[in-house]
């Protein structure tokens, strides 16, 4: 439909404005062939040892002879990004700086312009290099080098992930950006921020080991920073993550994906960890399909993104109580997704780095390979909490799982639902028809409840809609603290009042702490 609306003229304009060699080079390293008529590289669609993927600039087409993939710029984007034709058109138009027709733009909502985006990326890449060089040049007995040694990070790893260091100087970025970038440009990508007390601006990431967050195209879109133990910087936040900006959307970004991409594609599996260090430790030990979420739980958007590259995701959680609960809560979200999601739980208090060091690669590999499917994990945890030998215990298992299945509406009528029900029958020795009957009733009740809820009046008028992404995020954090106080301690280790932009939220957070 969209293609029809846009018309062939528009499509041809985009084709003319796109250089296929440049486009493919964003993903595949291409070299000119000897006679100079075409370019060749390793095929991204099959396991290719001899470069057999050709790009022909005169015809603006590509072809891999062994695996028979071929086409133009549109089919390339559809294949490599895993998107439909309309989205491919949009992406290429954006890349070529061609305005979409009016009706298309309205549908897509306001977008950042190509120039803004290019500048934002330029500023971020400048900062990446600056901090990386600073880390490499730091003396061996400096805090940063000592910390890196303590965490057993090799020089190769530091270079691979372009790790950096921001010295203990609040004007470091501002001073170095003079004559290169404006204050507004630095602010737009959160390298600097207004001082919370008094006038002027100050740098973010001060005194921290810095992890560049790199998107799938190899561009830095933000940073995460870890405060160094023993530094002079006073901050309640051990980790500080850059806020969302027009080029950085947390729930859509996975740390380390640029490094993991080819392994994820080859192995058809991604390992999802909880933090930068976890992800890096996996890579350093040779588990190169590891990525990390950015201070959020794995979201449906992440899964949709990963589905373009693999069919299985193993999510690693810490075995402590919050980790366990996070694992359980995430499961409902994914039951309906067409992805094989597995849950690997590490022993309590151990992160992947500890586990790899203490137990070795084989044990880690076994943990990944034997991770139960998400619903199976749920079943196991429920069973482990009650006595299966008693009728009451079995009833409790059943109640729990009925509630769980009834809540996961997307699974209704799928093969996976059948699998889960059969497994529940087996474990509880209850009759399948009873289970299906109860599930049916629970679903009907859920629908009724939702229907009634709709008729209730909305929230009081004094609560305004969130004014910004930061406002919304801060409210969510406060909501968690107020409704799940057992997480307060955990959250206190992750963020502090300084991380909040809204003064009233900051006060409330400090009161809770
Ligand atoms: Zn191929």
What is the distance in A from the centroid of ligand 1 to the CA of 42? Answer: 8
What is the distance in A from the centroid of ligand 1 to the CA of 62? Answer: 10
Q: Are residues 119 and 199 in the same domain?
A: yes
Q: Are residues 244 and 168 in the same domain?
A: yes
What is the distance in A from the centroid of ligand 1 to the CA of 55? Answer: 12
In the structure encoding, which two tokens stand for residue 111, read together? 């977008």
What is the distance in A from the centroid of ligand 1 to the CA of 63? Answer: 8
Q: Are residues 60 and 129 in the same domain?
A: no
Question: 189 near 247, Cβ under 8 Å?
Answer: yes
Distance in Å from the first CA to the final CA of the chain: 53
Pairing mode of beta strands 269-273, 290-292:
parallel
What is the distance in A from the centroid of ligand 1 to the CA of 41? Answer: 10
- Look at residue 94 and tell me if it is in a domain: yes
What is the distance in A from the centroid of ligand 1 to the CA of 289? Answer: 21
What is the distance in A from the centroid of ligand 1 to the CA of 288? Answer: 22
Q: Are residues 229 and 123 in the same domain?
A: yes
What is the distance in A from the centroid of ligand 1 to the CA of 264? Answer: 17
The CATH number of whichever domain residue 208 belongs to comes to 3.90.980.10
What is the distance in A from the centroid of ligand 1 to the CA of 47? Answer: 7
- Look at residue 177 and tell me if it is in a domain: yes
Sequence-ordered strand ranges (E) for 5-132: 31-32, 39-41, 53-56, 61-64, 70-71
What is the distance in A from the centroid of ligand 1 to the CA of 471? Answer: 47
**Domain final residue pick, 210, 227, 248:** 248
What is the distance in A from the centroid of ligand 1 to the CA of 94? Answer: 27
Encode 236-275: b = buried (16+ Cβ within 10 Å), e = exposed. Answer: bbebbbbbbbebbebbebbbbbbbbbebbbebebbbbbbb
Q: Which ipTM value was assigned to this complex? A: 0.97
C-alpha 242/C-alpha 250 separation (Å) is: 10
pLDDT at residue number 118: 75
What is the distance in A from the centroid of ligand 1 to the CA of 30? Answer: 14
Dihedral angle, C-alpha 491, 494, 496, 499, nearest 10 °: -120
Domain count for the chain: 5
- Look at residue 122 and tell me if it is in a domain: yes
pLDDT at residue number 461: 39
Cα 255 to its chain centre, rounded Å, is: 6
What is the distance in A from the centroid of ligand 1 to the CA of 64? Answer: 5
The CATH number of whichever domain residue 297 belongs to comes to 3.40.1360.10
What is the distance in A from the centroid of ligand 1 to the CA of 69? Answer: 6
Please give the residue range of the domain that contains residue 430.
380-455
Question: 283 near 263, Cβ under 8 Å?
Answer: no
DSSP 101: P
What is the distance in A from the centroid of ligand 1 to the CA of 262? Answer: 14
C-alpha 74/C-alpha 61 separation (Å) is: 10
**Secondary element (H or E) of residue 474:** helix 469-483
- Look at residue 464 and tell me if it is in a domain: no
Q: Which of 352, 288, 283 is nearest to 323 (CA)?
A: 352
Q: Are residues 390 and 490 in the same domain?
A: no
Kindly give, in sequence order, each residue whose CB lies less than 8 Å from that of residue 214, ignoring residues fewer than 6 positions away: 162, 220, 221, 257, 258
- Look at residue 353 and tell me if it is in a domain: yes
Q: Are residues 132 and 199 in the same domain?
A: yes
What is the distance in A from the centroid of ligand 1 to the CA of 17? Answer: 26
- SS3 call for 389: coil
Helices (H) then strands (E): counts for the chain = 22, 15
Q: Which of 19, 41, 22, 45 is nearest to 32 (CA)?
A: 41
What is the distance in A from the centroid of ligand 1 to the CA of 46? Answer: 5
For Cα atoms 384, 388, 392, give the angle at the middle one, nearest 5 degrees: 115
pLDDT at residue number 143: 95
**Domain final residue pick, 108, 124, 157:** 108
Mean pLDDT in consecutive groups of 10 residues from the start of the chain, 513 residues: 58 90 86 87 83 91 91 91 80 85 53 68 96 97 95 96 96 95 92 89 96 89 93 84 85 90 90 93 97 82 82 85 72 68 87 92 95 83 78 81 76 77 80 86 73 42 62 72 64 71 75 70
Q: Are residues 231 and 269 in the same domain?
A: no
pLDDT at residue number 309: 82
Q: Which of 220, 268, 259 is nearest to 242 (CA)?
A: 220
pLDDT at residue number 458: 40
Q: Are residues 244 and 266 in the same domain?
A: no
What is the distance in A from the centroid of ligand 1 to the CA of 88? Answer: 21
What is the distance in A from the centroid of ligand 1 to the CA of 52? Answer: 7
**Secondary element (H or E) of residue 352:** helix 352-369
- Look at residue 343 and tell me if it is in a domain: yes
The CATH number of whichever domain residue 23 belongs to comes to 3.90.580.10
What is the distance in A from the centroid of ligand 1 to the CA of 66? Answer: 6
Q: Are residues 35 and 88 in the same domain?
A: yes
C-alpha 53/C-alpha 34 separation (Å) is: 15
Furthest-apart CA pair in the chain: how many Å?
A: 78
Question: Tokens 């949009």 belong to which residue?
Answer: 90
What is the distance in A from the centroid of ligand 1 to the CA of 75? Answer: 14
Residue positions counted in the chain: 513
- SS3 call for 105: helix
- Look at residue 460 and tell me if it is in a domain: no
What is the distance in A from the centroid of ligand 1 to the CA of 54? Answer: 9
* Sheet order of strands, 39-41 included: 31-32, 39-41, 53-56, 61-64, 70-71
Q: Which of 100, 116, 140, 146 is nearest to 3 (CA)?
A: 100
What is the distance in A from the centroid of ligand 1 to the CA of 20? Answer: 17
What is the distance in A from the centroid of ligand 1 to the CA of 497? Answer: 52
- Look at residue 304 and tell me if it is in a domain: yes
Q: Are residues 86 and 181 in the same domain?
A: no
Encode 282-320: b = buried (16+ Cβ within 10 Å), e = exposed. Answer: bbbbebbbbbbbbbebbbeebbebbeebbebbbbbbbeb
Q: Are residues 423 and 435 in the same domain?
A: yes
β-bridge partners, 220: 214
What is the distance in A from the centroid of ligand 1 to the CA of 19? Answer: 21
**Domain final residue pick, 199, 217, 248:** 248
pLDDT at residue number 109: 42
Q: Are residues 243 and 123 in the same domain?
A: yes
């Amino acid at each position: 439909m969209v293609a029809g609306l846009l018309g062939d003229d528009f499509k041809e304009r985009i084709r003319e404005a796109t250089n296929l060699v440049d486009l493919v080079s964003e993903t595949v390293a291409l070299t000119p062939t000897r006679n100079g008529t075409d370019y060749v590289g390793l095929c991204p669609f099959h396991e290719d040892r001899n470069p057999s993927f050709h790009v022909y600039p005169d015809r603006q087409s590509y072809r891999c002879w062994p695996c028979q993939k071929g086409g133009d710029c549109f089919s390339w984007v559809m294949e490599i990004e895993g998107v439909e034709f309309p989205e491919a058109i949009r992406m290429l138009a954006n890349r070529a700086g061609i305005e979409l027709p009016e009706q298309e733009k309205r549908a897509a909502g306001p977008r950042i312009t190509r120039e803004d985006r290019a500048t934002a990326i330029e500023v971020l890449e400048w900062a990446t290099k600056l901090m990386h060089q600073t880390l490499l040049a730091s003396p061996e007995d400096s805090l940063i080098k000592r910390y890196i040694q303590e965490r057993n990070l090799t020089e190769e790893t530091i270079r691979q992930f372009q790790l950096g260091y921001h010295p203990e100087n609040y004007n470091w970025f501002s001073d170095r950006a003079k004559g290169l970038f404006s204050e507004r440009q630095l602010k737009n990508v959160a390298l600097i921020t207004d001082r919370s007390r008094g006038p002027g601006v100050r740098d973010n990431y001060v005194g921290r080991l810095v992890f560049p967050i790199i998107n799938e195209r190899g561009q830095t879109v933000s940073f995460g920073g870890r405060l160094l133990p023993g530094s002079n910087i006073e901050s309640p936040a051990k980790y500080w993550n850059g806020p969302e900006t027009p080029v950085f959307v947390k729930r859509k970004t996975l740390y380390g994906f640029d490094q993991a991409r080819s392994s994820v594609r080859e192995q058809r599996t991604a390992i999802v960890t909880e933090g930068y260090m976890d992800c890096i430790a996996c890579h350093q030990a040779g588990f190169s399909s590891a990525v990390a979420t950015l201070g959020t739980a794995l979201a449906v958007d992440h899964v949709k993104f990963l589905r373009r590259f693999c069919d299985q995701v193993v999510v690693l959680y810490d075995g402590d109580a919050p980790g366990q609960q996070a694992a359980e809560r995430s499961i409902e979200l994914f039951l309906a997704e067409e992805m094989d999601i597995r849950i690997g739980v590490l022993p309590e208090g151990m992160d992947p780095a500890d586990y790899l060091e203490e137990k070795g690669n084989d044990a880690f590999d076994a943990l990944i390979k034997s991770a139960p499917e998400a619903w199976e994990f749920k079943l196991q945890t429920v069973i482990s909490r009650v006595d299966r030998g008693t009728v009451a215990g079995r009833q409790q298992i059943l109640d729990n799982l009925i509630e769980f299945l009834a809540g996961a509406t997307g699974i209704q009528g799928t093969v996976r639902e059948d699998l889960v029900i059969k497994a529940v029958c087996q474990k509880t020795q209850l009759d399948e028809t009873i289970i299906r009957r109860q599930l049916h009733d629970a679903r009907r009740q859920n629908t009724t409840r939702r229907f009634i809820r709709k008729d209730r009046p909305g929230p009081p008028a004094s609560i305004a809609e969130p004014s910004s992404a930061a406002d919304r995020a801060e409210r969510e954090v406060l909501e968690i603290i107020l409704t799940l106080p057992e997480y307060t301690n955990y959250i206190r280790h992750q963020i502090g009042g300084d991380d909040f932009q809204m003064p009233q939220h900051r006060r409330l957070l400090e009161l809770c702490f």
